[in-house]
Structure 1
Amino acid sequence: MASTTSGDVLPTGSRIFINFPDLLFIPEWVIGGLVWTLVASTRITPDNPLGWVMFVSIFCFIGTTLWLFIFACGGNQSNFWPGLDTGFHFLAVVFYLSASVVLAYITIQENSSATFESLKIYRLDISAVVMSHVATLFYFLHAIFSAIRWKRA
């Protein structure tokens, strides 16, 4: 009886750029980098919540970069990688969702005290909120389809 190995399930090399959900690595990486840049380019009074948002964006950016390189180099051929892939993307969804809510709350609070001079910063914060929610969506889709792939293996 033939057994199913993870080599049949997880793509390696350039196949990650044509297989779904691994195709989502690129938009996750780009949007996560945008969140990191947009949050870093503003200065808002409550540092602590923005520190969490920066941690999440940097953690997920570096994690996605490492994950992309591991998949591209073919280091994902053991049996535990489908579950690890699902776990990483689920953790990224939870982190990004919490960071998105915090960032949206801070941006709403800043709107009440927005002046003409702070309008540029306010617009950057709105962009960061939107990009953070888009990153959450991409990580969510990747987590769901990775879980489906993991259960299929």
Structure 2
Amino acid sequence: MGHLPTGCGICTTIPDILYLPELIFGGLVWILVACTYVAPANPQAWVMAVSLFCFIVTFVWVIVFACGTHYNKSSWAAADFVYHFVATVFYLSASVLLAYITLALGTVGWSQIYKLDIAAVVFSFVTTLLYFIHTILSAFRWRSF
């Protein structure tokens, strides 16, 4: 865990193996929120912004590691930790907000939109957990440099 992976190593090393589930679950949050009705007073725009931001940056991060342009430096390990910490905080705030909005709109009944919102909440908290685990493991890797 004391080195940064290159190439296909991102699919076999810890914590980098978490990139794929982060992309999958983050993409599901993005898609599910995009499929729901967003009223002007509804703050799901923050959830959408966080999920899109994290999806795009995580994808770029995977490409950087896969291409090997990071040269195994300590500053990249620190940047990896900082990014995942910021993503965890953003996703936690978005998950709590999405859960609150889903509960507030849940008084209407079990409509299709409400079911999509529930799925988005679940996937949002799973994504938050993945980013949190990745943050902890990235901190260990950074400290071992």
Same fold by TM (over 0.5)? yes
Distance 1:70 1:126, change over 3 A: same
Q: Which residue of 1 aligns with 2:104?
A: 109
Picking from 75, 78, 83, the partner of 1:80 is: 75
Q: Which residue of 2 aligns with 1:127?
A: 119
Question: Which 4+ stretches in 1 moved above 6 angstroms?
Answer: none
Take 1:24 and 1:121, find their aligned partners in 2: how far apart are those partners? 29
| Letter of the structure 2 residue corresponding to residue 127 of structure 1 | A
Kindly state the Cα deviation for residue 111 of structure 1 after the two structures are TM-superposed: 0.8
1:94 aligns with 2:89: yes
Take 2:76 and 2:127, find their aligned partners in 1: how far apart are those partners? 22
Take 1:131 and 1:62, find their aligned partners in 2: how far apart are those partners? 17
1:65-120 Cα offsets, whole Å, 9 max, x none, are: 00000000001223310000000000000000000000000000011122x6xx11
Unpaired runs of at least 5, structure 2: none
Question: Identity across aligned pairs (percent)?
Answer: 52
| Letter of the structure 1 residue corresponding to residue 63 of structure 2 | F
Give the conservation status (yes or no) of the 8 Å contact 2:42–2:101.
no
Take 2:65 and 2:41, find their aligned partners in 1: how far apart are those partners? 35
